[in-house]
Structure 1
Amino acid sequence: VAAAGPAASTDAFSLHGFITHLVPTSIFDAMARNEILQIVVFSVFVGTAVAALDDKAPAVLHLVEQAASIMLKVTEFVMKLAPLAIFAALASTIATQGLAMLGTYAKFVLGFYTAMGALWLLLFLAGALVLGKRVIPLFREIRTPALLAFSTASSEAAYPRILDALPKVGVKRRIVSFVLPLGYSFNLDGSMLYCTFATMFIMQAHGVHLSIQQQIFMLLLLMVTSKGIAGVPRASLVVIMATLTYFGLPEAWIAIVLGVDHLLDMGRSATNVVGNSVAAAVVAKWEGELGDEETPETQAATA
């Protein structure tokens, strides 16, 4: 079902445009226009510079940490009003497009979970290729953390459970302590899948179609802007809005996915848990740090 909306042009979206767009004119201009990709690039440069100063900028770090805490609290306040926004968005969509839109939503959710199932299968096969039969107890142990992430729609909520589960299948704790935090920033399989599906659904619902080249560039954009979103509630919506802005499309189009965002967010979170767990076990295998499965006796001795 195509919704009425302003005409959108994606002709300027090319390799040259993608590279030149990475560099912001100024950080204030990038923030004013919600250019998330430019903000990320600026943040990387500034963070690298601050890290190279050998603790010569403690006031800056303290200010940034305080600002981050304030913004997360603001996000928390906004998300408490999210149910009202979701209700209004669904009511508006169904009122303007009819009950048939519910069937479109059902196809969208079904397509997402079908793709997620295929990704889980690929992760299992990749784990089996490296770990052999050890992949079966691995998936058995991470079943509870994945279910927790699915039910709470939060990858962070399952983090302590993964820390306890992976050593039980022989992954050394020092590997887990290193790979998991890194994975929560750079190995967000579920988040990438979700952002891609949601962005494509929004565009197709409004009659905007991308070429294969443009879809590849969109994936590159999402790969950069999606880093670190696992720890921020509903940050994936911000990433999707930034992608729409980059294509010159209205940010308000995000409203069309708000009604089913939580349903998809549950699968996204569970997939992040599975992907990071498999990654930790594979790294342990490559580094020769994959030992025997822990028994209750060895767990007590380690504690």
Structure 2
Amino acid sequence: MTDIGLQRETAPFGAVAAGEPAAGDYIALLKPRVMSLVVFTALVGIVVAPGQIHPLIGAVALFFIALGAGASGALNMWWDADIDARMARTASRPVPQGRIAPREALGFGLALAVCAVACLGLLVNLAAAALLAFTIFFYAVIYTIWLKRRTPQNIVIGGAAGAFPPMIGWAAVTGDIGWGAIALFAVIFLWTPPHFWALSLVKAGEYARAGVPMLPVVAGPEETRRQILLYSWILVPATFAPLLAGVGGTAYLAAAGALGVVFLVLAHALHRTSTDRAAMRLFGFSILYLFLLFAVLLGEALVAQL
């Protein structure tokens, strides 16, 4: 283990004394809020994919995709415990607070990862399992260990990890990756930078203290707002890509158009006003934006199957 790894293993990570972890601490390691988005977008991938899947097999696939997302969260919290201890919004997590030891978080994450990938491969198909394994590796190693502390493009490249779940769901049905799955991936991938950069504008001081080179820390708020606007103008046209791939219908076309206009208005407002309020308005709406886009896709597909 490297010196950094040893430091993570032995450092106190906060003033709270270590004790017996509660069940809630292990649930917190799974990052349940992130997991809920993973499950939802994977469900959309399953439902809109061409072909049929038995509802039980679909539920099994969703469960192990969620387990894989939880494994990624646990591995992220193991590696990032030193950063988490320095940031107000993450300091209460179980590892920096000493309720779960770093070694335990690592073991928990690895066990969940192996279980999720193996069971998805055995019970669903190998294509979905391989994608899940790559997603866990990408988030835990490429993003968390390699990119996050080295480049302000961490969110741009690392955002791919959050964009894979609908592709995994699609592969669970079809056994491969189609253009529709790639289009869904593109929407989430391009949504991630403006979403997280809006929050990072408000939390730039915390990221600076933690030594994380987020774009506002390295390039400044003005450049960050410019990049948010640029990515917003790339994102909104990209939300029509699923239609070109045969995914979605009239309702999705209308939703993508109306929601895209609001997204661009808020991005331009942030570019002009440069206030925390404007940043949080875009951040908050971006969550609703992605949810509604995928909810409409889900609704249309379910209605078509009736």
Q: TM-score, normalized by length of structure 1?
A: 0.29
Q: TM-score, normalized by length of structure 2?
A: 0.28
Larger radius of gyration: 1
**Greater RCO, 1 or 2 (C-alpha within 8 Å, sep 6+):** 1
